[in-house]
Structure 1
């Protein structure tokens, strides 16, 4: 075989491999972006500072979502939080830690479709639509102050929180280990692949960041191999109303929400924001 035929043969094999790998990424992208955890992290979650109730809510297409409503034992309309979890996160731990993380606040933490006891399959469009539904459901409760509702998103959930904040009048936003976009992270990981042509679930927070009107608190891990700081830097540079961008010492992508330092800082930020005079 002469050299030109060898080169053509190698190029043909490489092309087949490239097409095959691209097809594999396209076919398995749901598994790459989402990693549903079904088993509860906390078997019997209960907040020390709230009345804790298991809730089941129906989406617009009838899918049942399951999670927890934590209500503080105080009289009168209270500020509230909607929490959105990460890629592999089952949210029962939020019910356990709500007393420290969200003191004096009503909290709604519901598992995404396919996570925990929630039905269905996860997808970006469903997460955002369902997130808006959860916000509306919480805002309609008689003991919730509609003018003081925050959204908190961790990792993958930061992308949900950003889009919900764009569509609803949230009072403040907390983003834990956020990114510019899942598309950008995927392109970094699969440099030779045409990811932009096959990835459906993009979570492009950077596209919406400048439009956010609510004070936004960014919390980063000191060591993060999942969301490199460069991807957070890009998001932060575009945020419309950045309040603070802070690194939690001795934290990584996985332990950051459980650390006392993280919980104290988030509780302090939200308590301060909720104490601001109401805007009519």
Structure 2
């Protein structure tokens, strides 16, 4: 066969290959929407399973920092021998890794200074009678040694001169067990009872010396604990909620996968399925209901650029607390805008301060140790 006759045949085979590839691409493109629909249905179905829900809600397997030096808090940036590491035992048999950071005023009185060896427990126990205590409940994932959390302890113990007790829930860090809503509430109550006992032994009043502080997931834990304490007629000195949510169910409704895809928004077209999804959540953490029975000064901190929990959740909680006395008794709200910093709302329902700060910057994790927000903490807790 001559080269001239071979060229048309080669071109024909090339065109046939191109046509086949084009047909295949067309079929694949037609199949992609179906694949996306199947994937979406799979994600929605998986979200109804309690085990899957808890993996994503708590993220307790993500143990950052990965190194385990909880027995040496100095390794994570805390001052030498300012913090004691110990374990709390819950009524249902779990053990919780815990830190107690001394107030700065107590710490600097030690001789020699800085301390050269571990301080005796009596120093830490006596400190509960000298300064108020902030019980800190952290968010999901990681541990009590996460850098932004440690920075918060530093400011609370230093700038606010308070005891700080930070606990890792069951299943987190060096704590035993697996987390659930009821489980972490038991952990919170165990921590509160331990602190209250220490304060009472030190000769002070637990009710006026304990401040509850939660961040992110920890705001749900804090709110649930406050509700149970309120049922017993106990009200903390103050409640501080950093980047809170009104409820996990509300948060799921507003959840964006990878920051741009609203996973559950399409279900608005099928209300029954959407309601089924909402009712399937095993750990709803309904803070907007839990806080209704509390009677403590309250501070809500949030930022407009929070990429995890929209700041509208804090606005919801603020309005819930503002309106619980009824529309006729709704207190006056003083709103002040601070250029470059944020907006402050202050009201006094039932004579107690209700403060909400909506910052312009700080994201989800950084507002918990910012200088201006600690001034607000000192205000609401009268420190």
Q: TM-score, normalised by structure 1?
A: 0.82
Matched, 1:202 2:284: yes
Partner of residue 220, structure 1: 302
With over 3 angstroms needed to count, the CA separation of the structure-2 counterparts of 1:177 and 1:97, relative to structure 1, is closer
| Native 8 Å contact 1:152 1:158 kept in 2 | yes
My pick for the range that moved more, 234-243 or 177-186, is: 234-243
Residue 125 of structure 1: aligned partner: 182
Q: Structure 1 pair 236/89, CA: closer, same or farther in 2 (3 Å)?
A: farther
Q: Give the equivalent residue in structure 1 for 2:57.
A: 33
Moved more, 83-92 or 209-218: 83-92
Distance 1:202 1:61 in 2: 22
DSSP-derived class of the 1:33 partner: helix
Query: Which residue of structure 2 aligns with residue 4 of structure 1?
Result: none
Of 122, 131, 135, which aligns to 1:82?
135
SS where residue 182 of structure 2 aligns? helix
Output the CA distance in 1 between the equivalents of 2:174 and 2:379: 31
Flag the structure with larger Rg.
2
Between 1 and 2, higher relative CO (CA 8 Å, sep ≥ 6) is seen in: 1
Task: Please state which structure has a larger fraction of its residues in strand.
Answer: 1
- Quote how far apart the aligned CAs of 1:269 are: 3.5
Equivalent in the alignment of 2:238: 172
Structure 1 residue 108: Cα displacement: 0.8
Which of 189-198 and 210-219 deviates more? Answer: 189-198
Structure 1 gap ranges (5+): 1-12, 275-280
Distance, in Å, in 2 between the alignment partners of 1:15 and 1:221 is 34
CA distance in 2, matches of 1:67, 1:44: 15
Distance 1:97 1:25, change over 3 A: closer
Relative to structure 1, the CA distance from residue 104 to residue 18 in structure 2 (aligned partners, 3 Å threshold; closer, same or farther) is closer
> Partners in 2 of 1:156 and 1:259 — Cα distance?
19
User: Residues 13-59 of structure 1: CA distance to partner in whole angstroms, max 9, x if unpaired?
Assistant: 99987764443112311122111232338772464498310011111
Alpha-carbon contact 1:47-1:97 (below 8 Å) kept: no
Change (3 A) 1:268 1:61: same
SS in 2 for 1:223: coil
Moved more, 171-180 or 18-27: 18-27
Mapping of residues 1-280 of structure 1, within 5 Å:
20-27=42-49, 28-36=52-60, 37-40=62-65, 44-45=75-76, 47-48=78-79, 51-72=82-103, 73=106, 76-92=129-145, 93=147, 94-95=149-150, 97-102=152-157, 103-141=160-198, 142-143=201-202, 145-147=205-207, 148-168=209-229, 169=234, 170-189=236-255, 190-191=264-265, 192=267, 193=274, 194-239=276-321, 243-270=354-381, 272=382, 274=383
**Whole-Å Cα distance in 2 between the matches of residues 225 and 214 of structure 1?**
29
Please state whether the residue corresponding to 1:69 is helix, strand or coil.
Answer: strand
1:174 CA displacement: 0.2
Count of aligned residue pairs for this structure pair: 261
The CA RMSD measured in Å over matched residues stands at 2.9
Q: CA deviation at 1:179?
A: 1.3
